[in-house]
Amino acid sequence: MWKYYLRLSLYSLRKTPVLSLLMVLAIATGIAANLTILTMHSVVSSNPLEHKNDRLFAVQLNAWDPDREYFALNAIPPQVTYQDAKALYDANVADEVVVMRKAGVTIQHPESADLPSTYATRMTTRDFFSMFDVQFIYGGPWSKNADESPENVVVISEGMNNKFFKGANSLGQALLLDGEVFTVVGVVSERWQLVPNVYDLNNRPFEAAPDAYLPFFFSAAKPYQSWGNMQGWSDKEIKTHADFLQGEDIWIQAWVSLNSVEKRQEFTQFLENYISTQKEQGRFKRSPGYQLNTPQEWLNINNVVSKDNKQLLMLSFVFLMICLVNSTVLMFAKFLRKAPEAGIRRALGASRHSIFFQHLTEAFIVGIAGAFLGLLLSLGGLAAVRALYNNYENVAVFNGFTVAAAILLALAATLFSGFLPAWRISHAAPAQYLKTR
């Protein structure tokens, strides 16, 4: 029977080519727009650390101005001060602890005559690499010692390795960082890219992975050029770098991994103790004194899914609905015109079911064609989105999700746009169409 319905449907669609094309175009437009936005949204709203969501925590400490609460996000500063970062690291309580910042560092090959340039680097403790699942093509993280009394070691990106060493294994090679000699100990694969980059959501959540990584505690020795956010509230005069380190400016991101319930209790106990000793020194006057956030909570607090993203998502569904209603109207008009034929078929023994499924088959073909065309158009849509937003290279990417969504949307579109007309024609009284026309 399906083959018969299919034949009749194809025949019927060919009989009204313009109308068929209009219906397919309407559905394709709706699905293309919806897929584009849905794909973008699925990436923007994803959590690349889902598998560690129960273990990783972004640490917020509230040593902010006693007179007024922090002005953004959840009213607790999103970054920590140097003294608190150092305390977190030194306590050695968590299974892994990462304190880090974004800095601009001039990097140069010692033998190259090219003009140096400045690159986005992450100054961090070594646990960063294991905590955020960094993949290496050569070497690996630096040692614990290199963290504590910083050694001149650097991990570079595959892109930098290609640039300075033409892609060869560069372990043990030297690079000049802000004029000082550093030794390459690892090269990070260009496949490693968290989208969004949960670990630092202060600036652009979708920017590319860093060009280089170096031990965080170099920050204590001299003021590397900050490419991140620095915020302060205290009036205390800062004359020297030591003043700055002792001050209340926040500029460091802190993360811990706590792999067991006991660890979690131990760590919160440590934080509470730490805050109460700090209180004695006149700090931490606000409450709550701290907050631990899972990667998902951290993404939510930082509004990675923007107001615009949400609006566009809603819009894309309404848009799809309009397109589907449009196709329904056209299909309705078409089926009504075919009502006499359905009446004859009924008289010759076709049940309502047969008539319904015959017409649903026709709607289904239109839906499938529309979805397929929509899928193709959404490729263009995603390219357009990449062109429109200057940091969405990793976001607007065609993926398995898009294809799965296309199939679901095709089915939904068929049901939505074909059901009513097919139902209506299968329930029309056949007798009225059998009289002489």
Give residues 290-309 in contact with another protein (rule: CB under 8 A): 306-308
- Exposure b/e, 322-340, CB count within 10 A at least 16 = b: ebbebbbebbbebbeebbb
| CB closer to another protein, 387 vs 408 | 387
For position 347 contacting another protein by CB under 8 A, the verdict is: yes
Q: Which of 2, 17, 172, 437 binds another protein (CB under 8 A)?
A: 437
Secondary structure element (H or E) that encloses residue 214, with its range: strand 212-215
| Helix (H) or strand (E) run with residue 291 in it | strand 290-293
Taking the least distance from each CB to another protein, the nearer of 167 and 380 is: 380
Name 292's bridge partners: 59
- Taking CB under 8 A as the rule, does residue 348 contact another protein? yes
Which DSSP category does 188 fall into?
A: E
Q: Which two tokens stand for residue 290?
A: 């701290």
Which residues, in sequence order, are CB contacts of 45 under 8 Å at separation 6+?
299, 304, 305, 309
Instruction: Decide if 418 contacts 426 (C-beta within 8 A).
Output: no
How far is the C-alpha of 67 from the C-alpha of 353, rounded, in Å? 73
Stretch that binds another protein, among 16-24, 44-52, 126-134, 138-146 (CB under 8 A): 16-24
- Residue 25 DSSP symbol: H
| Residue from 76, 330, 369, 410 binding another protein (CB under 8 A) | 330
* Residue 74 φ then ψ, to 5°: -95, 25
Residue with smaller CB distance to another protein, 142 or 224? 224
> Tokens 């802000």 appear where?
178
User: For strand 117-124 and strand 96-108, is the pairing parallel, antiparallel, or unpaired?
Assistant: antiparallel
Q: Shortest distance, CB of residue 402 to another protein, whole angstroms?
A: 18
Contact residue for another protein among 10, 95, 116, 130 (CB under 8 A): 116
Taking contact as CB under 8 A, which single stretch among the options 50-58, 154-162, 318-326, 403-411 is the one that binds another protein? Answer: 318-326
Q: How far is the CB of 330 from another protein (least distance, A)?
A: 5
Q: What is the DSSP string of 92-147?
A: --SSEEEEEEEEEEEEE-TT--SPPEEEEEEEE-THHHHHTT--EEEE-PPPHHHH
Binding of another protein by 117 (CB under 8 A)? yes
The mark string for 184-223 relative to another protein (x by CB under 8 A, - otherwise) is: ---------------------------------------x
Least Å distance between CB 28 and another protein?
10
Q: Which residue among 168, 181, 220, 333 contacts another protein (CB under 8 A)? A: 333
- Binding-residue total with another protein (CB under 8 A): 77
Q: What does the alpha-carbon distance between residue 224 and residue 187 come to, in Å, rounded to a whole number? A: 22
Q: How far apart are CA 59 and CA 78, in angstroms?
A: 8
In the complex with another protein, the residue whose CB is nearer, 139 or 430, is: 430
Q: Which of 385, 395, 406, 409 binds another protein (CB under 8 A)?
A: 385
Complex with another protein: residue 195 or 329, whichever CB lies closer: 329
Out of 221, 281, 388, 400, the only residue in the binding site for another protein (CB under 8 A) is 388
Q: How far is the CB of 287 from another protein (least distance, A)?
A: 20
8: tokens are 């009749």
Choices 79-87, 133-141, 363-371, 427-435; region in contact with another protein by CB under 8 A: 427-435
Name the minimum Å distance from CB 351 to another protein: 4
Segment contacting another protein by CB under 8 A, of 46-54, 95-103, 135-143, 352-360: 352-360
CB of 152: closest distance to another protein in angstroms?
A: 16
Of the candidate spans 92-100, 181-189, 259-267, 339-347, the one that interacts with another protein by CB under 8 A turns out to be: 339-347
Query: Which candidate, 319, 314, 320, places its Cα nearest to that of 416?
Result: 320
CB of 68 to another protein, least distance (A): 8
The CA-to-CA distance between both ends of the chain, in Å, stands at: 29
Residues 156-185 that bind another protein (CB under 8 A): 179
Chain residues 235-294 in contact with another protein, contact rule CB under 8 A: 235, 237-240
Query: Which of the residues 21 through 50 are near another protein (CB under 8 A)?
Result: 22, 25-26, 29-30, 33
Contact characters 85-114, another protein, x per CB under 8 A:
-------------------x-x--------
Contacts of 143 (CB under 8 A, 6+ apart): 126, 151
Binding of another protein by 318 (CB under 8 A): yes
Q: Which residues contact 393 (CB under 8 A, 6 or more apart)?
A: 206, 208, 386
Q: Check: CB of residue 219 under 8 Å from CB of residue 101.
A: yes
The type of residue at 75 is: A
Task: Give me the long-range contacts of 429-436 (CB less than 8 A, separation at least 24).
Answer: 430/342, 430/343, 430/344, 430/346, 430/347, 431/343, 432/343, 433/339, 433/340, 433/342, 433/343, 433/344, 434/343, 434/344, 434/347
